[in-house]
């Protein structure tokens, strides 16, 4: 039983996942720092303090009191999520995709060109077949 557990733990997928979780935690701190230290102050500078936690509404309940729904926390969390997602996309994904496109290997470029040539050659072949079929006349078999 312990041998099976040892094999499971030392399998590559589990170790890769563990490394990804640790790096993701560290990267989360970087992104949160970017959002809280740069983007939120920038928004505050542009439009005022972006704090929505005070937004709430109350509904009377059956005991004669009222129940408070503090939806401001949800709105604040939603805005933070969107800002973090935008920060990850614009500050991480877009630059990495740009670097990948600049560092395309010559083999990838050749493969893409070969694929385009195959399509063109196929179209030329089909056109030649159509022309040969129409110029052969009624005596062709």
- Per residue in 33-54, pLDDT tens? 888 888 878 877 887 766 777 8
For the chain, the average pLDDT equals: 81
Q: Which domain, by its residues, includes 112?
A: 106-133
pLDDT at 136: 58
Same domain membership, residue 31 and residue 17: yes
Domain count, the chain: 2
Query: CB of 81 within 8 A of CB of 28?
Result: no
pLDDT at 76: 83
Confidence of residue 135 (pLDDT cuts 50, 70, 90): low
Q: Above 60 in pLDDT, residue 83? A: yes
Helix (H) / strand (E) containing 68: strand 66-69
Same domain membership, residue 123 and residue 91: no
* d(C-alpha 120, C-alpha 129), whole Å: 14
Same domain membership, residue 83 and residue 112: no
């Amino acid at each position: 039983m312990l041998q099976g557990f040892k094999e499971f733990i030392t399998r590559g997928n589990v170790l890769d996942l563990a490394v990804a979780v640790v790096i993701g935690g560290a990267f989360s701190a970087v992104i949160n720092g970017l959002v809280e230290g740069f983007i939120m102050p920038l928004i505050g500078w542009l439009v005022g303090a972006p704090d929505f936690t005070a937004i709430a509404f109350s509904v009377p309940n059956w005991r004669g009191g009222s129940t408070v729904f503090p939806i401001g926390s949800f709105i604040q969390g939603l805005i933070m999520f969107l800002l973090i997602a935008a920060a990850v996309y614009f500050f991480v994904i877009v630059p990495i995709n740009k670097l990948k496109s600049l560092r395309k290997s010559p083999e990838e470029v050749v493969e893409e060109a070969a694929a385009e040539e195959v399509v063109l050659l196929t179209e030329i072949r089909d056109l030649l077949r159509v022309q040969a079929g129409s110029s052969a006349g009624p005596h062709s078999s």
